[in-house]
Structure 1
Amino acid sequence: MPLTDLRQYIEALRDLGEIREIDAPVSLDLELGAIIRRCIETGAPAPLFNTFSDHPGGFRILGAPGGISAQPGMELVRVAVALELPPTTGGLAIAEAIAASLDRLAIDPVVVDAAPVFENTVTGAAVDLTALPVPLLHYGDGGRYLNTFGCIVARTPDGSWTNWSIARMMVIDGKRLSGIVAPEQHLGMVAKAWADLGKPMPFALALGVEPAIPFICGMPLPAQVDEGGRLGALLGRAIRTVQCRTVDLEAPASAEILIEGHLHLDELVEEGPMGEFAGYIPLDTQMRRPTYRVSAISHRDNAILPVVAAGEPVEENHTAWGLPCSAQILYDLRKAGIPATTAWIPLQSALHWLVVTVPRDWRRRSGIGESGAFCRRIGQTVFASKAGAVIPKVIVLNDDVDPTDLKELVWAFATRCHPLLGHAVFDDIEAAPLLAYLRRSEKVAGHTGKIVYNCLAPDEWGEALPMRASFRHGYPAEIVDRVRRRWSEYGFS
């Protein structure tokens, strides 16, 4: 059943035991953020906050909208439900489903005449961002962040490319926001196209959209590709959009809150720091970043603001960003002739690891004879992609290893990675400045070193691999099946 707005998503999660309503008044200053962090770190249901001790009301907040669950066999239930997949769908199957959609024809959004988000609208002098329930999420954050899981809509001046993305936005005052607008990211490319004409960039920020939209906003699609059409291809239906009131853009019609205005690259204000996806609040002081000037605020009655408390894994940066990245990299590797079985960013690695698994006959399939050269080809493909910009470390393994199983992954990396042979080192390559360990000079330059760890068997072994001494791999299939069937007969639960 299609989930075409956030409220339908919440009810679907409620039926699965993944929503916890909180009626006790909660402070927007740190308390709310601390509750969300504890929910993230324990796998508790997503908290839905109904009242605040330091805000007059009329709004609600949904925390951890794309977090993981502690329910057995349903770790990624919120992601699966958001993408209209069965609730028990695992990470590799989710990535495969996204990757498979990339060869389908786009289904572009359709514009509808009206949307519930316009139940309440203010424009011009009446605009006041401080009327919204904007939390202070981390002790050490430089301000209050309104956008942590919303869809930013921007379009090139010639109308050829409409980009949907996620980027943090901090409230400066009642009429201004600020955040990272990286020139290498698509939002920065679109903004520069407007700046080159001497104009600010029109934008819309849609908060509380239908649940699949943040996952396409976090996907590293190539430039000039519209996220709205690609999401339509994934879901098999067109996303509904609606005309904004003060800018010439169409925003997702499912929005609970809609902010409109213009981004001024030449108006710099102090923004940050903020607890981010790597799991740290950076030592950096506030930095001067561009200004979003707001011309309209619209919202539904009793609107719901989704909030991500970024930080140590696993949170939405690692699911709504990491999972689509895994899918895009898998697609890119296969297009490049790499016979990848899986490409997986382990959720607990905070986007700092990518695991690529390949079959034992990878030489015949790829036409590359040596594992060192094969790993270098993988690195060249990954690090040249938009998704690979954030990933500094790639681990290449045979596909008898399940990369989503951390116990298997640690064992395989420890026992298969020769400390001296075959690693592909990239000395100076583009990198995301928010990687946790970068020196200041590397952050400024946007370049650092990266590596592909060669965990494949020595070339002299050919396609031979030692037998794994484990229950699943070390016994004939009929014995494994017999033991599983008789497990309770042996006296085990």
Structure 2
Amino acid sequence: MLHVPNNSYFESLRDLLSHLEKIGKLRKITKQVDKDWEIACITRQVMYQRPDDRYALLFENIAGFKTPVATNTLGASRDIYATALGVPFVDGRIDKEAVRTKWTKALSAPIPPVVVKTGPCKENIMRGNDINLLKFPIPTWTPGLDAGAYLSAGAVIQKDPETGIQNAGVYRGMIKGPNRIGILVQPAKHSGVIMQKYEAANKPMPIAIAIGSPPYLGMTSVGRVPYGVDEMAVAGGLGGQPMEVVKCETVDLMVPAHAEMIIEGIVQPHFREQEGPFGEFYGHMGPIAQSPVIEVTAITYRNGTIHQGFQEQMPPSEGSCIKDIAMESILLTGLRQCGIPGVLDVYVHPMSCQSHVVVKIKPQFPSHAKAVYSGCWAVYPNRAKQVTVVEDDCDIYNDDDVTWHVSTRVQPDRDYTVWEKGTGLPLDPSMPKEMAIYSGKVGIDATRKHAYPPRSMPPRELMQTVQDQWSDYGLPALT
């Protein structure tokens, strides 16, 4: 059973790893491993286990390198995510409502970061000819298929040149040499919006990548926080106190002071180079792309630095877990902010690649479900291909219950709403490449439209009596 004290705060990745070790949820691997296949395969094997049996990993002996690699630190399971968030457990179970409450508060009342003069991330500095990304054990995540080693957990930090507000997001970064990184930037994402502004002015874009950040930034940088809201401020809200940041050495950006490593650089306007393929979160190989290139101008890092990686690829994965929980919380907050009443909870199916969302509501008016679909597609335009709306008598975390509600409360000709050519995601393999900017959407209204007969189940109080005296029947314990 996991135990997390109330109001736990983890200033750094190291603090979180120390806590996970204390509660038996970190495994250290001392056997020598190869960064180009073993890290990915071992991490994948852990994710094949039941969620309760998963754990974070620290690879301490990597062939040819001195730096350890940490995986599964935030999203091996929902329990580990809640642990990193500092949410207490109730009767050994994750308090889902507490996770939602933390996110809601963080989005509605972000806590801006506080600037400090220096921090652990500057204990070592590489400049000029000393810059060497190849010194660090950056893994290959899809052995035999990826184009090479990839940064997968770095918070990519940019600044809107018009507003001065920073943005942080996680985007794949292909190591192209000692001082060059190919980075996937998509026009519909916040990173693409910012880069287009620099290119319109024909100016190079300053950029930084924070690796091994405090866990709260890892959580916010994978979510679709509204544009113009600083993910570091939302991270401060999640942690309950401001994140300490320092100024970069070579570019005008603020970065987390307690990160394990900061990679600084610039992106030249209108320059593209081949990048990819890379195993993406849809469970298929992402395409080769013509992508911008980061020219690295400095690397700063902590003594005994730890490289952090998120495994994406086929779900379930660490990447899918942390994205799903962020999406659920941002959707729930967004739907309520849209003025849609009666929204109780949101669940993203872990194998859906953020494509299937289930929303629980207390129906209050005709076409209530349609308002929910529209809200979901406004808050997350390029996700949520299928939105299923159920009533408050459905356990949305139980696939069997959701299937039963859809099967018994839906008439397809009446309750399916299909939206053609909504916003798509180019990585979605279900659309041909030339049409990938579009995606159809479907909303399913699984609420009751008329009075239903009682469920054909024994009364709840009789079932409870049987449970209470179960041991008297000489049967194995209930699970």
TM-score, length-scaled by structure 1: 0.89
Return the alpha-carbon distance in structure 1 between the equivalents of residues 178 and 463 of structure 2.
64
Return the alpha-carbon distance in structure 2 between the equivalents of residues 394 and 105 of structure 1.
28
Q: Write the mapping of 1:403-482 to structure 2, written as runs, cut at 5 A.
A: 403-443=396-436, 446-457=437-448, 459=449, 461=450, 464-470=451-457, 474-476=458-460, 478-482=461-465
Return the alpha-carbon distance in structure 2 between the equivalents of residues 230 and 381 of structure 1.
22
User: Would you say the 8 A contact 1:338–1:378 is kept in 2?
Assistant: no
Return the alpha-carbon distance in structure 1 between the equivalents of residues 182 and 28 of structure 2.
31
Return the alpha-carbon distance in structure 2 between the equivalents of residues 480 and 21 of structure 1.
45
1:357 matched residue in structure 2: 360
What percent of counterpart residues are identical?
Answer: 25
After superposition, the C-alpha distances for 1:77-136 in whole angstroms (9 at most, x for unaligned) are 210111111255648425522443156432110112221222221112221111111111
Return the alpha-carbon distance in structure 2 between the equivalents of residues 441 and 12 of structure 1.
47
Tell me which of 212, 216, 223 is aligned to 1:219.
223
In structure 2, the CA distance between the partners of 1:163 and 1:98, relative to structure 1 (3 Å rule), is same
Q: Write the mapping of 1:241-252 to structure 2, written as runs, cut at 5 A.
A: 241-252=245-256
User: Would you say the 8 A contact 1:151–1:207 is kept in 2?
Assistant: yes
Return the alpha-carbon distance in structure 1 between the equivalents of residues 292 and 43 of structure 2.
29
Instruction: Tell me the amino acid that sits aligned with residue 330 of structure 2.
Output: Q
1:422 Cα offset (Å): 2.1
In structure 2, the CA distance between the partners of 1:317 and 1:309, relative to structure 1 (3 Å rule), is closer
1:64 matched residue in structure 2: 72
Tell me which of 156, 160, 164 is aligned to 1:156.
160
User: Would you say the 8 A contact 2:425–2:439 is kept in 1?
Assistant: no
After superposition, the C-alpha distances for 1:373-423 in whole angstroms (9 at most, x for unaligned) are 3333222211122x2422211111112111112232233333333232221
1:120 matched residue in structure 2: 124
User: Would you say the 8 A contact 2:283–2:313 is kept in 1?
Assistant: yes
Asked if 1:93 corresponds to 2:97, the answer is yes
1:329 matched residue in structure 2: 331
1:465 Cα offset (Å): 4.0
1:154 Cα offset (Å): 1.1
Q: Write the mapping of 1:184-263 to structure 2, written as runs, cut at 5 A.
A: 184-263=188-267
Asked if 1:131 corresponds to 2:131, the answer is no
* RMSD (Å) for aligned C-alpha atoms: 2.0
Instruction: Tell me the amino acid that sits aligned with residue 156 of structure 1.
Output: D
User: Would you say the 8 A contact 2:312–2:320 is kept in 1?
Assistant: no
Return the alpha-carbon distance in structure 1 between the equivalents of residues 439 and 99 of structure 2.
28
Asked if 1:317 corresponds to 2:319, the answer is yes
Return the alpha-carbon distance in structure 1 between the equivalents of residues 35 and 368 of structure 2.
51
Return the alpha-carbon distance in structure 2 between the equivalents of residues 200 and 468 of structure 1.
64
Return the alpha-carbon distance in structure 1 between the equivalents of residues 20 and 452 of structure 2.
44
1:73 matched residue in structure 2: none
2:80 matched residue in structure 1: 78
User: Would you say the 8 A contact 1:143–1:171 is kept in 2?
Assistant: no
Counterpart of 1:212 in 2: which secondary structure? helix
In structure 2, the CA distance between the partners of 1:99 and 1:301, relative to structure 1 (3 Å rule), is closer
User: Would you say the 8 A contact 2:158–2:194 is kept in 1?
Assistant: yes
- Structure 1: runs of 5 or more not aligned: 70-75
Tell me which of 325, 342, 346 is aligned to 2:345.
342
Q: Write the mapping of 1:287-302 to structure 2, written as runs, cut at 5 A.
A: 287-302=289-304
Counterpart of 2:471 in 1: which secondary structure? coil
1:72 matched residue in structure 2: none
Instruction: Tell me the amino acid that sits aligned with residue 61 of structure 2.
Output: T
In structure 2, the CA distance between the partners of 1:159 and 1:89, relative to structure 1 (3 Å rule), is farther
1:180 matched residue in structure 2: 184
1:484 matched residue in structure 2: 467
- Structure 2: runs of 5 or more not aligned: 1-7
Tell me which of 369, 375, 390 is aligned to 2:369.
375
In structure 2, the CA distance between the partners of 1:58 and 1:120, relative to structure 1 (3 Å rule), is farther
Return the alpha-carbon distance in structure 1 between the equivalents of residues 348 and 95 of structure 2.
10
1:480 Cα offset (Å): 4.0
1:394 matched residue in structure 2: 387
In structure 2, the CA distance between the partners of 1:252 and 1:89, relative to structure 1 (3 Å rule), is farther
1:159 Cα offset (Å): 4.9
Instruction: Tell me the amino acid that sits aligned with residue 323 of structure 1.
Output: I
